[in-house]
Amino acid sequence: MNARERFLKTLLFDHPDKVPLEPGGGRESTLVRWHREGLPATVTDITEYAYRCAGGKQEWPRGGAGFHVQERMIPQFEEKVIERRANSQVVQDWKGNICEIGLEFTVDYLRTTADFVTRRWIKCPVETRADWEDMKGRYNPDDPARYPADAAALGQKLAKREHVVGFSFSGPFWQLREWLGFEQLCVLFHDDPSWVREMVAFWEAHVARLMENACRFIQPDFVHLSEDMAYKEHAMISPAMTREFLLPTYQRWGKIIRRNQCPIYAMDSDGHVGELIPIWIEAGMNACDPMEVAAGNDILEYRQRFGKQMAFRGGVDKRLIAKGGAAIEGEIKRLMPLIRAGGYIPGCDHGVPADVSWPDFVRYTKLLAQTTGWM
């Protein structure tokens, strides 16, 4: 069974030969530690290397080309340092945000997930209607630069792929927060809901067009949204507000996804998502991640509530990976019923933090390999 078949069969509650081995990846600060503790700097596939260090002998699946669809603004804002202070710096990132970050980071850290970067927001790119008019001009979904230059040929090549290929997009809550900032967005839900609806509709149409254009060339295995719209105990906006403002967008995208025979419609949100999962199911979504344990997500309980309507990825408590030993053994044992039941790819419930040692990561990878059929 190839990697693509294994991924789809697992999340669709079918019968894979084994469950994909996805322990999770470390950010830059984590890798600095791991390199000190024995991970060679030349290693590019850290999961495979950890698997081999743990004694894994099976053939490792190889990836391949993807079909990248660019949702981001074109043109982007200039990344620059505006002011250097004694212990920090004020910068403008590619999205037009003005924020304060530590001196140890460069501006491009805000472009990627290279590491965990704490920042203080000073100004967001959309504060007025005039800002919004300018911002809209940066999103032309028919711009050829948003798609692979050889889209037709690449699509034909990928039709016989053995690896997973899909699209990732920002959800409407995520994208409006990028434009407005979290505080202003929350205020506008109350003070100017018509403007919120206008922006949501704009983003809905943009992503819909991106999907329709891309699906002319390829049938994706998944469409994955990012929202990050929950705190430790509750969603950032109420379920009622989520249903009113966001659900119609999720449903429209879901129709496009199903029309193009894409089997996985997935959602990524940090925080406690228990009150959001029913809305995502209503929208047609059938997978979500990363299922942070510290935020109170109990995926065993969720399985009892939602059955096979929702598959999961992640869900392994990063705090117990860091403790190692009996702690992580107990965590994997806790999740065994879900691993065996299907519809679940276990892994770290977010980026692997720097308090996880390399030996403990290898031990954790071994435990996952043993429980998912790789050893």
- Residue 335 buriedness (CB in 10 A; 0-12 / 13-18 / 19+): buried
- The DSSP code for 352 is B
pTM of the model: 0.96
Residues 97 and 158 grouped into a single domain:
no
Residues 103 and 251 grouped into a single domain:
no
| Tokens, residue 145 | 């630069």
**DSSP calls for 8-35:** HHHHTT---SS-------B-HHHHHHHH
Q: How many CA atoms lie within 13 A of 201 on its CB side?
A: 6
Please say which residue of 124, 141, 159 terminates a domain: 124
Q: Could you read off the pLDDT of 302-360 as tens digits, one per residue?
A: 999 999 999 999 999 999 999 999 999 999 999 999 999 999 999 999 999 999 999 99
| Tokens, residue 232 | 């430790």
Q: Could you read off the pLDDT of 157-179 as tens digits, one per residue?
A: 999 999 999 999 999 999 999 99
pLDDT band of residue 218 (cuts 50, 70, 90) is: very high
Contact between residue 14 and residue 337 where contact means Cβ atoms under 8 Å apart? no
Q: Where are the beta strands (DSSP E) in the chain?
A: 80-84, 88-92, 98-102, 120-123, 166-170, 222-226, 264-268, 287-289, 311-316, 344-348
pLDDT of 27 > 80? The answer is yes
Question: Is the four-CA dihedral 4, 5, 10, 11 of positive or negative sign?
Answer: positive
The pLDDT of 182-198, averaged and rounded, is: 97
Please say which residue of 94, 124, 154 terminates a domain: 124
Q: pLDDT over 90 for what percent of the chain?
A: 96
Residue 310's nearest CA partner among 273, 272, 259 is 273
- Residue with tokens 């711009």, as numbered in its chain: 143
**Angle 257-262-263 from CA coordinates, rounded to 5°:** 120
| Tokens, residue 308 | 């096979």
Residues 99 and 140 grouped into a single domain:
no
The predicted pLDDT at position 338 comes to: 97
Cis peptide preceding 75, ω within 30 of 0: yes
Residues 33 and 69 grouped into a single domain:
yes
Dihedral angle computed from the Cα positions of residues 36, 40, 44 and 50, in that order, rounded to the nearest 10 degrees: -80
pLDDT band of residue 117 (cuts 50, 70, 90) is: confident
The predicted pLDDT at position 114 comes to: 76
Residues 61 and 115 grouped into a single domain:
no
Residues 213 and 308 grouped into a single domain:
yes
Contact between residue 317 and residue 327 where contact means Cβ atoms under 8 Å apart? no
Cis peptide preceding 144, ω within 30 of 0: no
The predicted pLDDT at position 131 comes to: 98
pLDDT band of residue 251 (cuts 50, 70, 90) is: very high
pLDDT of 211 > 90? The answer is yes
Residues 33 and 110 grouped into a single domain:
no
Residue 112 belongs to what domain range?
78-124
pLDDT band of residue 115 (cuts 50, 70, 90) is: confident
Q: Based on C-alpha coordinates, what's the Rg of the chain?
A: 21
Contact between residue 277 and residue 243 where contact means Cβ atoms under 8 Å apart? no
The predicted pLDDT at position 116 comes to: 80
- 346/81 Cα distance (integer angstroms): 40
Number of structural domains in the chain: 2
pLDDT of 113 > 80? The answer is no
pLDDT of 96 > 90? The answer is yes
- Tell me the CATH number at 295: 3.20.20.210
Residues 103 and 171 grouped into a single domain:
no
Residues in Cβ contact with 358 at an 8 Å cutoff, skipping those fewer than 6 apart = 33, 34, 37, 38, 39
Q: Could you read off the pLDDT of 255-304 as tens digits, one per residue?
A: 999 999 999 999 999 999 999 999 999 999 999 999 999 999 999 999 99
Residues 112 and 186 grouped into a single domain:
no
- 368/133 Cα distance (integer angstroms): 49
The pLDDT mean for the chain works out to: 97
The predicted pLDDT at position 112 comes to: 82
Residues 32 and 20 grouped into a single domain:
yes
Residues 205 and 325 grouped into a single domain:
yes
Please say which residue of 90, 124, 158 terminates a domain: 124
